[in-house]
Chain A
Amino acid sequence: MIVVKDVHKSFGKVRALRGVSFDAPDGRITGLLGPNGAGKSTTLRILYTVLKPDHGEATIDGIDVVRDGLAARRRIGALPHGAGLYPHLSARENIAYYATLCGIDKATIDDRVDSIIKQLEIDDFADRRTKGFSQGQRTKVSLARALVHDPQNVILDEPTNGLDVMALRSLRNLILKLKDDGRCVLFSSHVMQEVAALCDDICIIANGKVAMAGSADGIRERTGCDDLEDAFIAAIQRVGAD
């Protein structure tokens, strides 16, 4: 369960977030939707504690991300935008490194890494060095390493970027499986169809503010647009007019 309350963040003169609030409950997929530069990544970065909010608060399963960042991180599996792997280590070693850092017992690390490798279907290239991996392979390994400590909350920043149809499909299935496990999945995207197809709740962000939040149907209803893309544009324009 992720709760964000009135979060503000500025970088110098640029006001990236101007009061963002939303909830991402367990067992549901919440999509952060918005154009480039809307503040999606900044919001997620605050959630996985690499940035600190100037104002407002955010909690992960009730743990404040500022006051107890370490405990909050324990409950998060994060896939930052454009996450990189260590090219000289194999996929398995990359995952095992994160498993060790997450404090998984030495005795169970191998089993845990094996099972996540199987789960994400990366057996074929698990023992190759990650140098030269395709974008899809890279995303899978990054995801495997984010999930290796079995986190309750999963934060994915534009995970579908650069994936082909097959990779996209397996990622979508994986996200649905995480939901079925009762986890809280929060992911960002600027691609409308993706969010519409996958998310239970949608939070449209524009200009550092939440333009609209609710289910896909709810958003269609409120904007009076049948097409979600039109609804998206309408919602963004509302914020722009403020």
Chain B
Amino acid sequence: MRTLLAVFTKEVVDNFRDRRTLVTALLMGPLLGPMLFAFVINLSIERSLSNVDSTMQLPVIGAEHAPNLTRFLQSRNIEVVDGPADRAAALVAVKRGTLDVVVLIPVEFGEQLREGSPARVELISDQANTEAERDARRTHNAIRAYSQQLAALRLVARGVSPTVLRAVNIDEIDVSTPSGRAAILLGMMSYFFIFALLMGGMYLAIDATAGERERGSLEPLLSLPVTRDQLMLGKIAAACLFMAISLMLSLWSFFVALKFMPLEQLGMTPNFGPAVVIGAFFILAPFILVGASVMTLVASFTKSYKEAQTWLSVVLIAPTMPILIVSILNVRSQLEFMFVPSLSQHLILVDLVKNEPLNLLHVAISITSTLAIGALLTWICARLYRREGLLG
């Protein structure tokens, strides 16, 4: 026990003194993730919200053929401006991206309206351009609204109630809560937490095997009257400490970052207060042991620090794969998933953020199975640490 403590203390002191490593482990992972997340979310919220009511300029060719439509568009904050000279020029301009949307009104538009036959307009846009797509949709909706208004007027003129066109009226009732809607967006955040958690211990895990070997300090260490198990366990324990610090930091920095995200504007209220931060820590904590032992395991197979870094960057991605797949497929919590580390933590975390009652059985299985897998991996690590090949 004393040996284990000595190894643990030495590794912690050593790692704290290594500034560069410390910055990568405790700043990059926990702080960069949430900041990036906040930045991207803010940007997308801004883009989707701020433009709805702003005045949009719409180049129209042949606006003089449809004065009423032009006035209608004006009333919807769409300012009609002169478009390119002809259709060919419009196509080129949109293709090049100099114009987002162009509406072309043919000469016969007025005549077709008078006859009551469908009047044709052309909406030229590039569907592959997301920015342009929003303006195109807005223009499309405005013109359709104009069309519906005209149709209703025509029916009224013939003495028919416009409501006959509405055989079925759909009332949408949304049962999602503001926290639930936020969970859709925040579902990916467990990715950041697990990433930060692994980053926190990565350098220590490399240092424990590949690093010591490369430095030549492993051999004298192994010649001391201590068992290799004790050395290895002390190193894994130290890695766990740093991973816990990194996890705690990333949870708090996420908590702070959320305050700067105008999620309420999207009708989302993230349930991510201090209590959830602490709860999330305990849900994710068992994964620390799995992460520390997997990284030590992988690093002990590598021949140099560089090689270990390369392999461990693969390990950083591995536990986030199930999370990605589940987020894309939008799978709900199931009992079987609770046996899978990282996936179970993600699913429980999502429930936590949705403010739904936690399934205590799920939580219990997640914690015990993750800890059991962590213990098993640690045991395998200890076995591997005993082999001669460790010296490389």
Which A residues contact B (CB, under 8 angstroms)? 45, 48-52, 70-71, 73-74, 76, 78-80, 82-89, 93, 97-98, 100-103, 129, 142, 145-146, 149
Contacts and interface: CB of A to CB of B under 8 A. Distances in A.
A86 B225 CA distance: 19
Interface of B: 2-3, 6-7, 10, 13-14, 17-18, 212, 215-217, 219-227, 388, 391
Contact of A101 (B18, B219, B224, B388): B224
Contacts of A103: 2-3, 225
Contact of A86 (B14, B219, B222, B224): B14
B378 to A, nearest CB: 20
29 contacts: A45-B219, A48-B223, A50-B219, A50-B223, A52-B388, A70-B226, A70-B227, A78-B220, A78-B223, A83-B217, A84-B215, A85-B215, A85-B217, A86-B215, A87-B215, A88-B18, A89-B14, A98-B224, A100-B2, A101-B3, A101-B6, A101-B221, A101-B226, A102-B224, A102-B226, A103-B3, A103-B225, A129-B17, A142-B220
Contacts of B223: 48-50, 73, 76, 78, 80
A85 B224 CA distance: 14
A83 B6 contact: no
A48 B224 CA distance: 9
A128 B226 CA distance: 27
A93 B16 CA distance: 15
Contacts of A78: 220, 223
Contacts of B391: 45, 50-51
Contacts of A76: 223
B220 A83 contact: yes
Nearest to B6: A100
Contacts of B13: 88-89, 93
A84 B224 contact: no
A73 B225 contact: yes
Nearest to B219: A80
